[in-house]
Amino acid sequence: MLTSKNTKRHSRIELVRGRGATLWDAHGVSYLDFSCSYGPIVLGYANEEVNAAARAQIERGALFPWATSQVDELSALVCANMPRATECLFFKTGSEAVAAGARLARAATGRQTIVRCGFHGWHDGVISPFYHWHDADGIAEGREIPGVAGHSTRDWIVWDGRSVAGLDQILAAHDGGIAALIVDPVQFREPIGEAIAACSNTIRRAGGLFILDEVKTAFRVGPGGIQKKYGVSADLSIVSKALGNGFPIAGVVCTNELERFAATAKIKGTYNSDLVSIAAATATLKLLESRNVAARLQQIGSTLIAGFNDLAHEVGVEDRVRAMPFRWDCMPHVTFAGDEGRARSERFASDLLERGIVWLANHMNYISMAHTEADVARFLDACRSVLRGAVTGR
């Protein structure tokens, strides 16, 4: 059972099937989906080649008492496109991988404090205080999260990502005590490559490690994620989401020098080498490379964004709403101006849902390989109706 985050009007929609870019509910109603389940679906729901790899592994066995050559093969595929990377430690979720990356950084540097910028999952140290990091034009004021003990967040410092000068001030105030800086790349502004290089140089000069949380961007923005696209490198990278096309898997990508701390830091887990997800991820990465998926995602996203903005101009609401890349066209976002922007975004998503389209409010959306030009045209047609209703009040 799914509780919709997009609308109060549709409080519960039971989704029972997905194929390509389409979802179906328990009543047989279909929905064109742009959420991609918050990012993991990169090839389309129920991709047959990925599912076939998973089914074949299920027949052979899902879990063995120690790692196999399949784990090594996937690690090599992940590292092949990541600068300086030689090892990948596998986990089930992005949140778990962030926790492992933080422990590795502390073990390697002998320091405790980590600076964070962006959304890094739900674990205690990175969730409180909570910010709306996915607001494209800034972040809302932080709030404490119930149930998170104060000592859990003591060694985490929030940086808003707006200027390297602000990061310098944090590092100066904790001279010699910062183990790492972890950044979600969607927090960077243009010129993105220069911003990443400046941050990485700053934290390394202070003796800390640079961690890129590429949970959203790896394999979607490009085969080598942000790092290959902009010619930069991280000491540790967190990958997940598009890695498994919906199967639960995440990784900490690093060098041999850092990976050796994993044993003494007791970074382990019973299901880290779940071979079903390993097989699905291996198939996914091979398809992403052979079909040049990243370029296709950018093309479809660009068409959607340009088409929406043309439509907003046509309807006469371009001063109130616009589509934009959430840094990259493969992650389109619709933003509303004014103090009521968040509420308007929620209403927009609700109205689209009534027209059979799943669109995330106040969040980037995602393009998958299954999306077509016809899907974009359907989306824009629904938006025309919604935006005209906004103008007339109906």
Instruction: Name which of 215, 221, 257, 264 is nearest 237 in CA terms.
Output: 215
Check whether residue 17 and residue 65 sit in a common domain.
no
Question: Distance between alpha carbon 264 and the CA centroid of its chain, in Å?
Answer: 29
Domain membership of residue 3 as a residue range: 1-33
- 47 by DSSP, 3-state: which? coil
Instruction: Quote the pLDDT of residue 309.
Output: 98
138 and 63 inside one domain: yes
Q: What is the CA angle 386-388-393, rounded to 5?
A: 90
* Residue 59 and residue 7 share a domain: no
Evaluate whether residue 66 is within a structural domain. yes
Type of residue numbered 117: C
The pLDDT tens digits for 334-376 are: 999 988 989 999 999 999 999 999 999 999 999 999 999 999 9
Under a CB-based contact definition with an 8 Å cutoff, are residues 227 and 82 in contact?
A: yes
Residue 303 within any structural domain of the chain = yes
Give residue for tokens 């942000």.
226
Cα pseudo-dihedral 122, 123, 128, 133, rounded to 10 = -40
Residue 256 within any structural domain of the chain: yes
Residues 196 and 280 in one domain: yes
Cis peptide, bond prior to residue 191, ω within 30 of zero = yes
Beta strands in the chain (DSSP E): 2-3, 12-13, 15-19, 22-25, 30-33, 87-91, 113-117, 156-158, 178-183, 209-213, 236-239, 250-254, 321-326, 328-336, 357-358
CA angle 380, 384, 388 (to 5 degrees): 160
- Within a 10 A sphere around the Cβ of 387, how many other Cβ atoms? 23
Helix, strand or coil for residue 163? coil
Tokens of 59: 């027949």
Q: In Å, how far are 81, 153, 271 from 285, measured between CA atoms?
A: 11, 35, 21
pLDDT digits (tens, 9 = 90+) for 38-83: 999 999 999 999 999 999 999 999 999 987 899 999 999 999 989 8
Render each residue's pLDDT in the chain as its tens digit; 394 residues.
344 444 444 447 999 999 999 999 999 999 999 999 999 999 999 999 999 999 999 999 999 998 789 999 999 999 998 988 999 999 999 999 999 999 999 999 999 999 999 999 999 999 999 988 887 666 767 899 999 998 889 999 999 988 899 999 999 999 889 999 999 999 998 899 999 999 999 999 999 999 999 999 999 999 899 999 999 999 999 999 999 999 999 999 999 999 999 999 999 999 999 999 999 999 999 999 999 999 999 999 999 999 999 999 999 999 999 999 999 999 999 999 988 989 999 999 999 999 999 999 999 999 999 999 999 999 999 999 999 876 545 4
Co-location of 210 and 239 in the same domain: yes
Domain boundary among 290, 316, 343: 290
* Residue 344 included in any domain: no
Q: Which pLDDT score is estimated for 67?
A: 79
Residue 190 falls inside a structural domain: yes
DSSP code string of 49-92: HHHHHHHHHHHH-S--SS--HHHHHHHHHHHHTSTT--EEEEES
Per the domain annotation, does 130 fall within a domain? yes
Query: What CATH number is associated with residue 94?
Result: 3.40.640.10
Identify whether the C-beta of residue 289 lies closer than 8 Å to the C-beta of residue 222: no
List, as one string, the DSSP characters of 189-208. Answer: -SSHHHHHHHHHHHHHHTT-
Q: Are residues 116 and 158 in the same domain?
A: yes
Of 290, 307, 341, the last residue of a domain is 290
Q: Are residues 279 and 228 in the same domain?
A: yes
Q: What is the CA radius of gyration of the chain?
A: 21
Please count the structural domains in the chain: 3
Same domain, residue pair 29 and 74: no
* b/e burial code for range 79-105 (CB count within 10 A of at least 16 → b): bebbeebebbbbbbbbbbbbbbbbbbb
- Of the candidates 10, 11, 14, which has an alpha carbon nearest to the alpha carbon of residue 2? 14
Residues 343, 344, 350, 356, CA torsion sign: negative
In a domain, 366, yes or no: no
pTM: 0.93
Same domain assignment for residues 152 and 7: no
